[in-house]
Amino acid sequence: MIFRQLFEPLSSTYTYLIGCPDTGQAVLIDPVIATMDRDLAELGRLGLTLAYSIDTHVHADHITAALELKKRVGSAIAAPAAERVACADVQLEEGKPFRVGSMEFQPLHTPGHTSGHFTYVLGERAFTGDALLIEGCGRTDFQQGDADALYHSVRGKLFALPDDTLVYPAHDYQERRVSTVMQEKKRNPRLGGDRTIEEFRLIMANLNLPYPKFIDYAVPGNKQCGVCPADLPENLGKYCEQMTESRQG
């Protein structure tokens, strides 16, 4: 497998590039429109063809690059059926493995952050989206979020994966890149150890997080597979601009 973890600094999103060495086909999990050119350059450098973009859920903090990638390189759009993204070419469901070249992803329905949120398991790696973050989890106060559902998704499904499964989240705000199922089982302060559902409900109800500043634009845009809204205020314009790299060496 060819594998790269890529970072988008505006929303602290990780995009995962995964390629099949046998066929040269690749996927991007949770690609961001602002770093699309960077991701395409990386695919080109690796000699891979983008077959699919795959989102873990309808994001509220960035615009997915799914639609623009389809326009640029003809990649198909895969999304969780449970998120009801009508423009997706492939509707992913739990229990139905998703094949790309010689790779086989196992989609897992992990609701709680959003009702239709999915995790994708590929061999020893789990791409956990916003269901399970490193020593954290996604918020549960928008998009049909549900703390009880998230508790069951993480402890019932993700913590049931083999202990050495690598946990690759959709975000990290402290430059941590990867964890393991065992590590989160033991150390996740919200969901690990012997946390009860009552304790978790209380933690999530008392986070006091600010209203997500991009949600009113991102969610409608992402329900259309990644459309930048025309009425974007100037201070949010950077969410739809390309972040290009100027390398110095």
Position 68 contacts Fe ion (CB under 5 A): no
Pick 130 or 146: Cβ nearer Fe ion: 130
Among 130, 135, 146, 172, binds Fe ion (CB under 5 A): 130
Q: Return the biggest CA–CA distance within the chain.
A: 53
How many CB atoms lie under 10 A from the CB of residue 152?
A: 15
Pick 68 or 130: Cβ nearer Fe ion: 130
- Span interacting with Fe ion, options 23-31, 91-99, 122-130, 239-247, rule CB under 5 A: 122-130
Closest residue to Fe ion, judged by C-beta, is 130
| Structure-token match 């990867």, residue found | 178
> How many Å apart are CA 75 and CA 112, to the nearest integer?
29
Read off the tokens for 103. 């790779």
> How many Å apart are CA 129 and CA 119, to the nearest integer?
6
| Structure-token match 């025309």, residue found | 230
Pick 101 or 129: Cβ nearer Fe ion: 129
* Residue at 35: amino acid letter: T
- Span interacting with Fe ion, options 72-80, 124-132, 181-189, 203-211, rule CB under 5 A: 124-132
> How many Å apart are CA 219 and CA 225, to the nearest integer?
10
Least Å distance, CB 112 to Fe ion, is 11
Position 55 contacts Fe ion (CB under 5 A): no
Helix, strand or coil for residue 106?
A: strand
Binding site for Fe ion (CB under 5 A): 59, 130
